[in-house]
Amino acid sequence: MAPEKTFATLLRVVVAVPTYRRPAQLEALLPLLAAQVEEASGPGRAVELVVVDNDPAGSAREHVGAGTRYVHEPRPGISAVRNRALDEAAGADLLVFIDDDELPGPGWLTRLLGAWEEWRCAAVTGPVVPRFAGRVDPWVLGSGVFDRAHRTSGALLRGGATNNLLLDLAQVRALGLRFDDRLGLTGGEDTLFTHSLVHAGAQVRWCDEAEVVEPVPADRLTRSWVRRRSFRSGSSWSRAEVQLAGGPVARSRLRAVLLARAGGHLVLAGGSLVAAALRRDAAGRGRAACTLASYAGLVTGAFGHVPAEYARPSEAGPVPSGAATTSRREPRVHV
């Protein structure tokens, strides 16, 4: 259990928004965050909003208004952006991350801070609620990729994603943790970071009331996209666990365990896929296919391979909405 902390003056909080060429999404997000910062500030709390721009051209600067601090981090990769946020929060007690293509739910920031004040854990994370513009293919919807996770508030987790995450910086600093620069273009840096917290004995807890909303663009609502997402999530999870397992013997043992369990799940998912096809159950086929992709990713990730999902597109023009600059959700891989 984390030691009790007392604050003689203010609890200092930085809310960080990593961004890369998403002007429209940033302009929709920042006014909502500014209102939440004002709501969460008050006696005993000082909250600051910071935008960390990863575009070498610094294109987000013109979209950041008064009252929000703008920081330019030209080194490419999501790890560089997150580490810059850690550096910019050097004088703060807490750092909160939210993605540039998401929107905070009512009371999101106040609920995250209140949860941490109650539990004093190393990290607090919460749910992501998808928002679809129109009809979604039942196969894609059934895949589970966009499911809103439901857990009891206070539940202990094995890790978390950074699209809705609060970090206790005293505990992070005490462990000497940073986001791994080697994962800047593959993603999974948040999985490794939060799993490292847990492996070191720190606590990551769930706040079910602290929701963020994710408007899902049409180019993510395809069967190929959710299969790729499932594969990468599984591979990021197993790569992090193997990396943190210890020496060569421990890593070899864990790989053997993961391979055995993945083999069993792949067989079961293959059977489910056939059964769903016979029933003409599109949602069931989507879930089975993405389960297969997830466990296939788990196998490759156990040997260090994760696809480079965040490799930069051409520097000309905005980044496609499907090429997210930040990682999504803690993968649902059960081992």
CB atoms within 10 A of CB 181: 15
Q: Among 97-106, 177-186, 326-335, which stretch is predicted with the lowest mean pLDDT?
A: 326-335
pLDDT of residue 166: 98
Domain boundaries, the chain: 11-221
User: Three-class SS of residue 69?
Assistant: strand
Residue 41 has pLDDT above 70, yes or no: yes
Count the residues in the chain: 335
Sheet with 94-98: strands ordered across: 69-72, 45-53, 11-19, 94-98, 164-168, 123-125, 204-206, 156-157
Q: What is the mean pLDDT of residues 220-246?
A: 94
pLDDT digits (tens, 9 = 90+) for 69-82: 999 999 999 999 99
Residue 50 bridge partners (DSSP): 16, 69
pLDDT of residue 319: 39
What distance in Å separates the CA atoms of residue 204 and residue 202, rounded to the nearest whole number?
7
Encoding tokens for residue 157? 């987790």
Using CA atoms, how far residue 102 sits from 33, 56, 113, 129, 194, in Å, is: 11, 22, 19, 10, 20
Q: Among 17-21, 132-136, 282-286, which stretch is predicted with the lowest mean pLDDT?
A: 132-136
pLDDT of residue 273: 96
Q: Which pTM value belongs to this model?
A: 0.89
User: Three-class SS of residue 259?
Assistant: helix
pLDDT of residue 188: 87
Which stretch, 11-25, 175-189, 297-311, has highest mean pLDDT? 11-25
CB 45 within 8 A of CB 116: no
Residue 3 has pLDDT above 90, yes or no: no
Longest pairwise C-alpha distance within the chain:
65
Q: Please tell me the chain's helix, strand, coil percentages from 3-state DSSP, rounded to the nearest 5.
A: 45, 15, 40
pLDDT of residue 334: 41
Which one, of 255, 231, 262, lies nearest residue 241 by Cα? 255
pLDDT of residue 170: 98
What superfamily would CATH give domain 11-221? Spore Coat Polysaccharide Biosynthesis Protein SpsA; Chain A (3.90.550.10)
- Type of residue found at 318: P
pLDDT of residue 305: 82
pLDDT digits (tens, 9 = 90+) for 289-334: 999 999 999 999 999 887 765 555 544 344 333 333 444 444 444 4
Residue 138 bridge partners (DSSP): none
CB 195 within 8 A of CB 177: no
Please give the torsion angle defined by the CA atoms of residues 293, 283, 217 and 98, in that order, rounded to the nearest 10 degrees: -70
pLDDT of residue 186: 79
pLDDT of residue 312: 55
pLDDT of residue 307: 72
pLDDT of residue 310: 56
pLDDT of residue 314: 47
pLDDT of residue 62: 95
pLDDT of residue 132: 95
Give percent above pLDDT 90 in the chain.
83
pLDDT of residue 8: 54
CB 204 within 8 A of CB 197: yes
What distance in Å separates the CA atoms of residue 129 and residue 331, rounded to the nearest whole number?
15
